[in-house]
Each structure stands twice: as structure tokens, then as C-alpha cells.
Homo-oligomer: A and B are copies of this chain.
């Protein structure tokens, strides 16, 4: 089997080429439009793992399709990730993305918001390009799955933002899993794999298993992401450390902490989390991090992630792949990487 990291890197190289050389406009004689194009190319040109296009391409090959037939769709999934990150960074007030300032900090929120919209529209336009290779029926099936993916993501995003905006703390682990499945699982794992499988002509049974696989692994992936946000290496991770505390995110780690802390600790954590980003002090963040440590909330969350990984691997093993064994093995290797990664 090819090495997972090498393979992800190789696919990412091909995807970058499609996005930057074929899908996105390069320059315009009109000065302002030229700036828009540069803004649209900014996030796609920053370093990224390219997990989602990798999953799309690899699932396609595992299901008996070719890499080339999935390449455009995989590039569109990566494009989607880019516009949603631009908007996500505005919504969350994030400062760092992939190791550089968030787009709205460099150009202002209005232009960044519009650049995200421009990328969004280009994504759908690009999907139309599947026609010659996939024919009308599969092109439209891929778009159907794509719209499901965006719908789920915006609903999950709304849930997470809404909890912060409305100061909600009456949340259970079930709420977190529901939010996370929508916000993360569909676009990170389930839909990339399912689109790859659709392109390869997989049957409804395979698509069902991939939904199970993807929703479970996606949540596990997000839990690991939440952990890295608190204890990861900022340089590798590419986002500002403890941003989730500054942004008031209701992570599984935080919900666990609140469920196990004393009443007075709990009250203080909630009071800190309810402050606006600008009002949160370094001491506030340190207080929360200290309690996270005291109650081993990350250990607890990681145990949950391990369980979700186990469930997802059961679904994966249940699939009778029609394509190459190496690709199927890479999906298993990726699953483990998703919850064990340090970046």
C-alpha cells in the first residue's frame, strides 16, 4: 500500500493544479476585479492537507472508478472548503488561517464576504464541467450530493453559532453530536467519499455504509480538531491556539468539563465563555485550560473519538469494494490518521 501521507500529498498536488490552473480566473485588466481574483486564489494557495479531495479520489478508486474521473469533483470539494472557511472566519472572528491572517483581516469583511460568494458560485459552475466525463445523470447525482453536503454544513454552522449568540449552555453530548455531524461530518468525510463512489457507479448499499462511516468518523475528526485547538502545536495546526475558548465554542471537551466541574467552577467557566472575544483575558483562558486538564476532559473526548473510530471502521469493513484493494486500505489508514493526527 502507498504511504498515506505521500498519497495525500500527491493528490493535493493534482488538485492544486486543477484549482489554480483551470478553475479559478487568474487576472483581469480591471484593477478591482483583479484584486477579487487574487482574493479568491488566496486560501486555495495556502498550505493545506487536502484530506477531502483525497477521500473523494480514493473512495472512487476503491469503488472501481478512475482517479481522473473524480479529480474535478474532488477539486470542487476543496473549493467548497475554501469559501466556507472565508465565511467561517468572518462569522467566528478568527484571526489566523493556515498559518496566515484570515482574509477579512487583510481586506476587510465586506470584500472577503463577497470573495467567498464568488468562490461559492465558481464551485457550482465547475461541477457542470463533469458533463463530458461523467454524462448528465452522474453529473447531476454528484451535484445532488453536493447540495446535501452544503445544506448539512450550513445547518451545523448555524447550530454552533446560534448556541454562542443565544448564550445557550443547556446542551447535551447528543446536541454536540448532532451539530457536529452536520457541521463537519458531511463535508469532511461522508460526502467526499459518497461523491467518489457515485462517480464510480457504486450502489445504494455502498452509499449507505459510507454515510454511516462518514458521519461517525467526521465527529471523531472534529473531536481531535477541538483537542488540537487547545493542546496542539500552533505552527503545525495553522490556527490560533485556544481560539475555541475565545470564540465560545461548545466543544465536547467543554461540555464534559461543565458536567464534571463543581458548581462554582462551572459558573466561572460559563461567565468566561459568555464574555466577548475582546474581553477574555489570558488569565481567563488559562483558568479554563487548567480545569480541562484537572478533569481530563480531553482524555474523555479522545475516548469518545476512539469509540467513533471503531464504529466507523465497522461500516468501512462492511463495504464490498469493487475497485483496488490499496485504495480501500488507504481509507482505513486515513480513518486512524483522522483521530491521531497532530495537525
Residues of A within 8 A of B (CB): 30, 32-33, 35-36, 84, 87, 90-92, 107-111, 113-115, 117-118, 120-122, 124-125, 128, 131, 136-137, 139-140, 143-144, 147, 150-151, 154-155, 157-159, 161-163, 165-166, 178
In the A-B complex, the 6 residue pairs with the closest CB atoms: A136-B136, A125-B147, A121-B150, A118-B154, A91-B110, A32-B162
Contact indicator B32/A159 (Cβ below 8 Å):
yes
Q: Which residue of B lies closest to A112 (CB)?
A: B91
User: Residues of B contacting A111 with CB < 8 Å?
Assistant: 158, 161-162, 165
Beyond A33-B155, A90-B113, A91-B113, whether A147 also contacts B165 by CB under 8 A is no
Contact indicator B110/A154 (Cβ below 8 Å):
no
Complex CA distance for A277 and B178, rounded to whole angstroms: 41
Copies in the complex: 2
**Contacts beyond the supplied A117-B157, A120-B121, A131-B140: 9 A-B pairs with Cβ under 8 Å:** A33-B155, A36-B154, A91-B110, A92-B110, A113-B113, A117-B150, A118-B151, A125-B144, A128-B140
> Does more than half of chain A's interface fall in helix, strand or loop, or is it mixed?
helix
User: Residues of B contacting A32 with CB < 8 Å?
Assistant: 158-159, 162-163, 166
Beyond A128-B143, A136-B140, whether A158 also contacts B87 by CB under 8 A is no
User: Residues of B contacting A108 with CB < 8 Å?
Assistant: 165
Complex CA distance for A111 and B151, rounded to whole angstroms: 15
Complex CA distance for A159 and B124, rounded to whole angstroms: 22
Complex CA distance for A157 and B125, rounded to whole angstroms: 19
Complex CA distance for A122 and B122, rounded to whole angstroms: 15
Contact indicator A144/B128 (Cβ below 8 Å):
yes
Complex CA distance for A120 and B87, rounded to whole angstroms: 13
Complex CA distance for A109 and B84, rounded to whole angstroms: 15
Complex CA distance for A33 and B155, rounded to whole angstroms: 6
Complex CA distance for A113 and B92, rounded to whole angstroms: 11
- A-B residue pairs in contact (CB < 8 Å), sample of 17: A30-B159, A32-B158, A32-B162, A87-B113, A91-B109, A91-B113, A92-B110, A108-B165, A110-B161, A111-B162, A114-B154, A117-B157, A118-B155, A118-B158, A136-B136, A136-B140, A139-B140
User: Residues of B contacting A115 with CB < 8 Å?
Assistant: 154, 158
Nearest-Cβ distance from residue A77 to partner chain B, whole angstroms:
14
User: Residues of B contacting A120 with CB < 8 Å?
Assistant: 117, 120-121
